[in-house]
Amino acid sequence: MSTAVTCLRAQTPYEESWADGVKSKTGHSSPEEVRPIEYYRLQGVDLARALRDFWSVASIAVAESAIEIASGFEHMLRWFEGAGTVVRPYEVPDNATAELQRASDLDRRIARLFGSVGEQSFEEGIETEFSRELERVVRAYGDNAVVAVGQRIAGGTVKPEAAAEALRWLGQMDSPITYRQRLDLLERSLSAPSAWIRDGASLGLASLDDPDAMPYLERAIEREQIPELREDLQRVLSQLEKTRQCLCS
Amino acid sequence: MPLLLRKIRKPRWYRTQELSWLSQGEIPADPLADLSTTSNELSTWHIEDDLSNLERVIVAIAGTWDRIDSFDYALFDQRLVEELNIEMQQTMGDTPDAQANHWHRDLVHLSAQRLAELARAIWMDGRTDRKLQKEIRDALARAVSRREIDPNRLKPNVQSQVKA
């Protein structure tokens, strides 16, 4: 079965960053095969909400994995437009099918990564097979790996302690090309329902030591209901404030 | 009265609204994960009551790690251990700081009941705290420059992080 692949580039009205997505379309698709947006909801993907929550990049990655035969591309296009999103189709890269395969491999590796956690407990400062594999995956897949990790965590199917461990290591990783994506994920994870995840995100941000994260931390401190965690968030904020002062002077 | 330090993960000790199911005087089970024993012994560290050796002990422990990280710990009064009739022995620690190794203490002959009582005592009367990764890195660098830590005993990643 031949597969035509179309890429889209979307800009949400809520942020200025661009999000890339790859959508495949089978040559023999018929209108009956178009999958409505409800299909994605049934897969646990609420794209509208994800976009509202600045998860646009992750949402498109989720869509990628959900669309094995993406005959609903036009529908997606209309939906993005309906959601107030500017959608601009652009040229199809020659290696798009290989890219889809690569995305599928990434999904499998991330699923295995979190699935392997079991009852494993993590200790500060100690590398584990989990942390080593996470680093390998990020080195191999770059931003897409960070997006996939964020998607898993946001999906709520990952043990909070494992999610926190992933966020801590993402903060410590030496990977300049994924820096912005990791920073974004850590900032967003400050709003996670799990205290473990919020804590892991704050530790990751402390490791990145980027004052850009300060507004996110300030909002997280205002929201935080657990006194000890609020203190820890404040501690990270103070560190970033000192860093900012050093950078300014 | 001197204190004892035990390395923990702070989120296990959070007092959250979700724990409203606990009966009066009960503590959650998760903190027990931070009191795992080997041969019925629990590794702790002696801390002076003025906290004068606190940083040195923390840095010594961090000196055994694969990478520099944040450090969560619980501090509790040695009196709590005495009140629970838990036996304490001075044993040498295994860190790159020869002096700090003398501050290592094992709580020995621990039954499950005593361990649970100790967890409860720490929950009720102890306190938890944290040093961030950057603080640990700076403190490690100071310890190396003061020759408190043997840099050759640090793992390669830690050595490079300290030099950075």
DSSP chain B: --EEEEE--GGGG---GGGGGSPTT---SGGGGGG--BTTBEEEEEE-TT-TTHHHHHHHHHTTSSS---EEEEEEEHHHHHHTT-EEEE----SS-TTGGGGEEEEES--HHHHHHHHHHHHHH-EEEEE-HHHHHHHHHHHHHTTSS-GGGS-HHHHHHHH-
Kindly list the domain boundaries of chain A, sorted by start residue.
Answer: 3-90, 96-248
Say if the Cβ atoms of B130 and A229 lie within 8 Å.
Answer: no
Q: Which of A127, A164, A227 sits opposite B67 (nearest CB)?
A: A127
Q: What is the mean pLDDT of residues A95-113?
A: 84
Task: Determine the CATH number of domain A96-248.
Answer: 1.25.10
Q: What is the pLDDT of residue A4?
A: 35
At A103, the pLDDT band (50, 70, 90 cuts) reads confident
**Nearest C-alpha of chain A: how many angstroms from B70?**
7
Ranges of chain B with pLDDT below 70: none
Three-state secondary-structure class, residue A92: coil
Q: What is the pLDDT of residue A116?
A: 83
The percent of residues in chain B predicted with pLDDT above 70, rounded, is 100
Name the residue among B19, B13, B8 with its Cα closest to residue B71: B8
Residue B14: its chain A contacts at CB < 8 A? 195, 226, 228-229
CB A223 within 8 Å of CB A189: no
User: In this model, does residue A9 exceed pLDDT 80?
Assistant: no
DSSP element (H, E) containing A23: strand A18-26
The percent of residues in chain A predicted with pLDDT above 90, rounded, is 51
User: In this model, does residue A85 exceed pLDDT 80?
Assistant: no
User: Chains A, B: CB contacts under 8 A, how many?
Assistant: 64
Say if the Cβ atoms of A124 and B14 lie within 8 Å.
Answer: no
Residue B62: its chain A contacts at CB < 8 A? 125
Residue A168: its chain B contacts at CB < 8 A? 69-70
User: In this model, does residue A141 exceed pLDDT 70?
Assistant: yes
Kindly list the domain boundaries of chain B, sorted by start residue.
Answer: 3-163
User: In this model, does residue A59 exceed pLDDT 90?
Assistant: no
Say if the Cβ atoms of A127 and B128 lie within 8 Å.
Answer: no
DSSP element (H, E) containing A10: strand A3-11
* DSSP classification of residue A113: H
- Which is more confident, B32 or A2? B32
Say if the Cβ atoms of A206 and B67 lie within 8 Å.
Answer: no
Residue B7: its chain A contacts at CB < 8 A? 124
CB A79 within 8 Å of CB A40: no
Q: State whether the Cα torsion A230-A236-A241-A244 is positive or negative.
A: negative
**Nearest C-alpha of chain A: how many angstroms from B127?**
10
pTM of the model: 0.76
Say if the Cβ atoms of B71 and A124 lie within 8 Å.
Answer: yes
User: In this model, does residue A50 exceed pLDDT 60?
Assistant: no
**Nearest C-alpha of chain B: how many angstroms from A160?**
10
Q: What is the pLDDT of residue B163?
A: 82
pLDDT digit string, tens, across residues A110-126: 999 998 887 677 899 99
Say whether residue A193 is in contact with chain B using an 8 A CB cutoff. Answer: no
Say if the Cβ atoms of B134 and A206 lie within 8 Å.
Answer: yes
pLDDT digit string, tens, across residues B69-82: 999 999 999 999 99
Q: What's the rounded Cα separation, in Å, for the pair A95 and A10?
A: 20
Say whether residue A189 is in contact with chain B using an 8 A CB cutoff. Answer: no
Q: What does the H/E/C string look like for A135-172?
A: HHHHHHHCHHHHHHHHHHHHHCCCCHHHHHHHHHHHHH
Residue A209 Cα distances to A203, A243, B40, B63, angstroms: 10, 7, 40, 22
Mean pLDDT for all residues in chain A: 74
